[in-house]
Amino acid sequence: ATAGAFFEYVAFYFTAAFAEHKWAIHYYARRLGHELLTRRELLPDEPDHPRALDPYYKLQLGPLQRRDPPIVSLRWRRISFIHTTWDRFQVAEEINDLFVEGDEFVDRLYHALRESDLGPERQFPVRESGVEYIADLALPCRDGVVSIRVTPGRTGPGAWLSFSPDLVSEDIQGCVAAIRREVGQRGGIQPF
């Protein structure tokens, strides 16, 4: 269990098991309440599970509501939880519109890349040389991934493009041009 169930709504992301509805959010429901139970209490048919005594939240939900149009993921990705705001949920067209991690400069660069038809991904897991990390923004290309960080300094694993908040604020088109050059060097955007 996480530190708390501090959210009003739960949306359901459908995996490939849902065939033509896969990789999208079609339904959501209001959280009416919750209980903290052990896994054993939630799943009594699995009493010897290694996490049988771990705490889990049992959510009480209101009626399912259809999200029309659904919020789609343009690329397959593994999603467990995305914390977002109601405002973002109401206007989202695709999964990347939901993310609130990162700051306003990541948001600005994401929208500039999207408007440039580059199809950026947010909070994207990248694996390089046996190390996995989460990139603020990423562009899957035919020959690798262009990983992007917006940070005052270059830190952490991997070889990514790093832009300072000041540069994003003062020359966002220059940032987009640098990213576009890197995408070209990696064979162009990987088709959806």
Q: Comparing 29 with 94, which gets the higher pLDDT?
A: 29
Quick one: DSSP state of residue 190?
P
Same domain, 157 and 135: yes
Q: What per-residue confidence (pLDDT) applies to 63?
A: 97
What number is the average pLDDT over the span 83-90? 82
Same domain, 23 and 39: yes
Q: How does pLDDT run across 125-163, given as a tens digit for each residue?
A: 888 778 788 888 999 999 988 999 888 765 444 567 888
CATH code, 163: 3.40.960
The secondary structure element, H or E, covering residue 142 is: none
Name the domain boundary from 100, 125, 154. 100
Distance (Å) of CA 157 to CA 94, 128, 129, 164: 28, 9, 10, 17
Of 6-20, 71-85, 116-130, 144-158, the least confident: 144-158
The residue segments making up the domain with residue 13 are 1-100
This prediction has a pTM of 0.59
Domain count, the chain: 2
Give the helix ranges, DSSP H, for the chain.
Answer: 39-42, 86-91, 104-115, 165-170, 172-185
Residues above pLDDT 90, as percent of the chain = 41
Q: What per-residue confidence (pLDDT) applies to 32?
A: 93
Same domain, 124 and 79: no
Same domain, 96 and 23: yes
- Decide: 129 and 145 in contact? Cβ < 8 Å: no
What number is the average pLDDT over the span 103-128? 85
Name the domain boundary from 52, 74, 100. 100
Same domain, 87 and 154: no
Same domain, 127 and 174: yes
Name the domain boundary from 100, 133, 149. 100
Q: What per-residue confidence (pLDDT) applies to 106?
A: 85
Q: What per-residue confidence (pLDDT) applies to 192?
A: 67
Same domain, 168 and 94: no
